[in-house]
């Protein structure tokens, strides 16, 4: 029994006697259009995901950079969420497109029985999981940034408490009600 799988970078055949044998595609321009576009979209997805990670990292409250500019941090979180969401869409589109073409060619009656039928490989399922995870992460990041008002970082509490205590000591009383 043989299973044929084709990914973005190589085609593989799994045989019971031999195991898995893979061959890289030799030419980018020699690929079908759906694989060329899918490669570009996956590169775009990786770049958008990395950019979203960097942007949203600077928007985190635990980072001390720009801690007084809560507005900017909130906008960075929202932008990071949008970038994650866009990365998820650009990952799901090529994976689903290749899956659709694979299913169409598998059930095509015009292809003779002697020609091997392509099947889903493991990377297809990993691509779907990664795309949905990026979508979910982007939605959660935007929900957290827009839905709740986060408190200031812990350093602000200590400074605020010291300032109020110093004001009481300057008045000469230890009672804050005076």
Report percent pLDDT > 70 for the chain: 75
Higher per-residue pLDDT: 139 or 4: 139
Residue 26 lies in a domain: no
User: pLDDT higher for 24 or 134?
Assistant: 134
For 148, the token pair is: 């709740």
- Domain residues for the domain of 61 are 57-148
Q: Contact 61/73 with Cβ under 8 angstroms? A: yes
* 7 within domain boundaries: no
- Whether 29 maps to a domain, the answer reads no
Q: What is the mean pLDDT of residues 3-24?
A: 79
CA-only gyration radius of the chain, Å: 27
User: What is the reported pLDDT for 45?
Assistant: 95
- Rounded to whole angstroms, how far apart are CA atoms 164 and 178? 12
CATH classification at residue 102? 1.20.140.150
* Residue given tokens 């030419």 in the structure block: 27
The total of structural domains in the chain comes to 1
pLDDT above 70: residue 149: no
Quick check: is 14 in a domain? no
Q: Is residue 86 a part of any domain in this protein?
A: yes
On whether residue 162 sits in a domain, the answer given is no
**pLDDT given at position 158:** 47
pLDDT at 133: 96
Is residue 4, in this structure, part of any structural domain at all? Answer: no
The answer to whether residue 148 scores a pLDDT higher than 70 is no
Task: Using the predicted structure, report yes or no on whether residue 150 has a pLDDT greater than 90.
Answer: no
* Reported confidence tier of residue 16, pLDDT bands at 50, 70, 90: confident
Query: Which residues on adjacent β-strands are paired with residue 23?
Result: 11
Q: What is the pLDDT of residues 78-128, one digit of tens each?
A: 999 999 999 999 999 999 988 888 788 777 767 666 666 667 777 888 999
How many Å separate Cα 109 from the centre of its chain? 38
How many CB atoms are closer than 10 A to CB 128?
15
* Poorest-pLDDT segment among 6-10, 67-71, 96-100, 152-156: 152-156
Quick check: is 84 in a domain? yes
H-type helices in the chain, by residue range?
Answer: 33-58, 70-106, 122-147, 154-170
Q: Contact, 10 vs 35, CB < 8 A?
A: no
Question: What sign results for the dihedral spanned by CA atoms 9, 11, 14, 18?
Answer: negative
Whole-number Å distance between alpha carbons of 21 and 91: 26
């Amino acid at each position: 029994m043989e299973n044929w799988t084709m990914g973005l970078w190589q085609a593989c055949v799994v045989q019971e006697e031999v195991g898995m044998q893979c061959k890289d595609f030799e030419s980018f321009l020699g690929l079908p259009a759906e694989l060329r576009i899918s490669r570009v979209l996956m590169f775009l997805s990786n770049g958008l995901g990395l950019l979203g990670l960097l942007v949203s990292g600077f928007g985190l409250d635990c980072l001390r950079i720009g801690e007084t500019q809560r507005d900017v941090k909130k906008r960075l979180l929202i932008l990071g969420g949008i970038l994650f969401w866009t990365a998820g869409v650009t990952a799901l589109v090529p994976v689903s497109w290749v899956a659709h073409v694979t299913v169409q060619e598998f059930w095509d009656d015009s292809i003779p029985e002697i020609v091997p039928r392509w099947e889903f490989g493991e990377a297809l399922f990993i691509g779907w999981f990664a795309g949905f995870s990026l979508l979910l992460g982007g939605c959660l990041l935007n929900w957290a940034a827009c839905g709740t008002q986060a408190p200031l970082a812990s350093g602000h509490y200590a400074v605020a408490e010291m300032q109020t205590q110093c004001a009481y000591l300057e008045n000469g009383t230890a009672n804050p009600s005076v």
